[in-house]
């Protein structure tokens, strides 16, 4: 097991909501913890970073496994989202799974990520760490991380990691690479709660993999495919690119400046797409999987699920498009017409 280094205790929650962030509820700023303890055990490709709630420090906490996109093995890339999850009361495990942009080959990503998860959970059971509760673990994945988490969600027993209770795939895909992809996802559990989010203007990986998971996960009835579109009020723009889940925070900067890290600095935004799409749906998915809460926010093509926010003039932003399992032909037609990603 890689040596664990304590990197610091950082403020996890701002005193007031960010502009456009709800005060409470899924995606909201009603935080339970004011600080996050940041640990680094990621010197190897199968290492991990660990984020634990503090101030107040709980005896135990639920777990979110956060799988980064290709090359995003500097956890600052999603730092504000990680802080949000920790401040809400979760331990966040952030597996590395890559040594660099060339090594290892993508076929090794799931095994590396799984080892990072196992080692992180073992570490949490030692010393003065917050003890993990692993009966209802949520797995979040962006880009190639979505491909990896979907693989692990089927092969969790093989890799000896906790069974996922919730799976959030954010702009998932692998581009021209095929490692870790499966032909279909019918092996996902019937009890899994699954959300797949794609962007209208994702020209990096497009919609194809997200569509594949949604269409082939036929044994998982509680699943929705969500399309986030761009919008403007004439003064501000909300984009719908592959970069929307990025929300960097330099508190978690490891110094890596590869192509992905530079792209994060160029394209990262913090706005209603974070608060009322990715953060909101992630929180609602967790709440529903663990406690049966927020089902009308996480699923069902409801107004609460589709809501993205309001412009300064009071007009509603373009809502999310939601496809239910019985709408697979409609989702396929939308994709063929070019309106579910590109």
Residue range 158-194, pLDDT digits in tens = 999 999 999 999 999 999 999 999 999 999 999 999 9
Mean of the pLDDT values across residues 37-48? Answer: 97
Residue indicated by tokens 């190897």: 44
Query: Do residues 180 and 110 lie in contact, with contact meaning Cβ atoms separated by under 8 Å?
Result: yes
Model confidence at 336: pLDDT above 80: no
Q: Of 153, 158, 296, 168, which is closest to residue 219 (Cα–Cα)?
A: 153
Mean pLDDT of the chain: 95
Cβ atoms of residues 73 and 148 within 8 Å = no
Architecture of the domain defined by 5-336: 3-Layer(aba) Sandwich (3.40)
Mean pLDDT of 73-95: 98
Residue boundaries of the structural domains of the chain: 5-336
Residue 224 contacts residue 195 (beta carbons within 8 Å): yes
Query: Under a CB-based contact definition with an 8 Å cutoff, are residues 50 and 4 in contact?
Result: yes
More confident residue, 297 or 329: 297
User: What is the C-alpha separation between 17 and 257, in angstroms, rounded?
Assistant: 30
Q: Enumerate residues 6+ apart whose C-beta is below 8 A from 174.
A: 70, 106, 144, 147, 180, 181, 205, 209
């Amino acid at each position: 097991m890689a040596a664990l280094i304590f990197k610091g205790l950082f403020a996890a929650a701002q005193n007031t909501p960010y502009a456009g962030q709800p005060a409470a509820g899924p995606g909201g700023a009603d935080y339970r913890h004011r600080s996050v303890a940041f640990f680094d055990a990621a010197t190897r490709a199968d290492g991990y970073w660990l984020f634990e709630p503090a101030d107040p420090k709980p005896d135990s906490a639920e777990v979110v496994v956060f799988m980064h996109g290709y090359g995003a093995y500097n956890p600052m890339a999603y730092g504000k989202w990680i802080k949000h999850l920790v401040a809400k009361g979760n331990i966040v495990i952030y597996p590395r799974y890559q040594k660099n942009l060339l090594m290892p080959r993508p076929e090794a990503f799931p095994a590396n990520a799984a080892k990072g998860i196992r080692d992180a959970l073992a570490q949490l059971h030692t010393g003065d760490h917050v003890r993990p509760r692993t009966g209802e673990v949520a797995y979040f994945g962006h880009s190639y991380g979505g491909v990896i988490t979907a693989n692990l969600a089927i092969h969790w027993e093989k890799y000896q990691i906790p069974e996922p209770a919730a799976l959030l795939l954010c702009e998932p895909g692998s581009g021209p690479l095929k490692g870790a992809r499966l032909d279909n996802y019918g092996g996902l559990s019937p009890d899994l709660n699954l959300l797949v989010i794609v962007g209208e203007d994702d020209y990096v990986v497009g919609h194809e993999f997200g569509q594949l998971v949604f269409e082939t996960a036929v044994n998982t009835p509680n699943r929705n495919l969500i399309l986030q579109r761009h919008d403007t009020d004439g003064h501000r723009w909300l984009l719908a690119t592959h970069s929307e889940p990025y929300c960097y925070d330099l508190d978690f900067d490891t110094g890596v400046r590869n192509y992905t890290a530079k792209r994060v600095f160029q394209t990262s935004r913090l706005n209603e797409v974070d608060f009322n799409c990715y953060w909101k749906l992630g929180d609602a998915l967790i709440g529903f999987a663990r406690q049966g809460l927020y089902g009308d926010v996480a699923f069902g093509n409801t107004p609460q699920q589709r809501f993205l926010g309001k412009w300064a003039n009071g007009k509603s932003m373009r809502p999310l498009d939601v496809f239910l399992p019985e709408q697979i032909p409609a989702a396929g037609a939308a994709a063929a017409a070019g309106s579910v990603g590109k």
